[in-house]
């Protein structure tokens, strides 16, 4: 891969830059001895082919200390493509957005669970940054994402987890069917293709 293209792909796939790149026109230039020899074109994250399971931007809310806080959720299932499960270029999971900040990418109570490998999307909650500005420990001490030990964040976790639960359980049930098919002699890849076709047919 050419240096310019490699850098642009790495930027486009970075979890914490995707939202910025949708709002700004960013290009990568390769310079040699002060002279431009290559330009990438606009850098922007390309979502994998998918079907929408929740949303787009479905309204949700949670309660904390007698106050109600809104959020929106979009959940998708990727088709015919493997998602990246961890790291700065993670594509599996829900990107947590608050204002213009990306705070995390995860699947809440279903993080690292079987059946979530193809799920991705976004959850937007303005109150997270507002609470952070008031000194609430929204971010973990390790600065590795949201802090589920904080009561406000815990209430948010619970609401999002409850919202995505039916989709996760449906994916887990489909996997159980695939496992039964594979143990009965069905080719696993063929079974996976059948699962993708089933997801499409349900939309």
**Mean pLDDT score of the chain, rounded to an integer?**
85
pLDDT band at 102 (very low <50, low <70, confident <90, very high): very high
Nearest to 104 by CA among 64, 144, 66: 144
Cβ atoms of 181 and 191 within 8 Å: the answer is yes
Helices 126-133 & 151-183 angle (0-180, nearest 10):
140
Question: Which residues, other chains included, contact 181 with Cβ-Cβ below 8 Å and sequence gap of 6+?
Answer: 191
Higher-pLDDT residue of 198 and 139 is 139
Lowest mean pLDDT among 27-31, 73-77, 89-93: 27-31
Structural contact between residues 54 and 75, judged by C-beta atoms closer than 8 angstroms = yes
Q: What is the pTM of this model?
A: 0.80
Which structure tokens are listed for 13?
């796939």
Cα distances from 201 to residues 48, 49, 129, 165, 169, in angstroms, run: 18, 15, 39, 21, 18
């Amino acid at each position: 891969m050419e240096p310019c293209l490699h850098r642009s792909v790495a930027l486009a796939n970075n979890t914490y830059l995707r939202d910025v790149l949708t709002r700004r026109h960013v290009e990568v230039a390769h310079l040699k001895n002060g002279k431009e020899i290559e330009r990438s074109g606009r850098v922007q994250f390309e979502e994998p082919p998918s079907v929408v399971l929740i949303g787009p931007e479905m309204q949700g809310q949670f309660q904390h200390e007698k106050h109600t806080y809104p959020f929106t959720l979009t959940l998708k299932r990727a088709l015919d493509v493997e998602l990246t499960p961890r790291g700065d270029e993670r594509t599996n999971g829900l990107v947590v957005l608050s204002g213009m900040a990306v705070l995390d990418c995860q699947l809440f109570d279903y993080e690292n669970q079987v059946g979530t490998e193809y799920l991705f999307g976004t959850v937007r909650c303005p109150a997270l940054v507002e609470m952070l500005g008031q000194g609430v420990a929204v971010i973990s001490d390790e600065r590795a994402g949201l802090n589920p030990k904080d009561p406000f964040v815990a209430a948010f976790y619970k609401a999002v987890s409850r919202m995505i639960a039916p989709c996760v359980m449906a994916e887990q049930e489909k996997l159980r069917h695939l496992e039964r098919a594979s143990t009965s002699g069905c080719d696993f890849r063929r079974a996976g293709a059948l699962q993708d076709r089933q997801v499409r047919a349900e939309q």
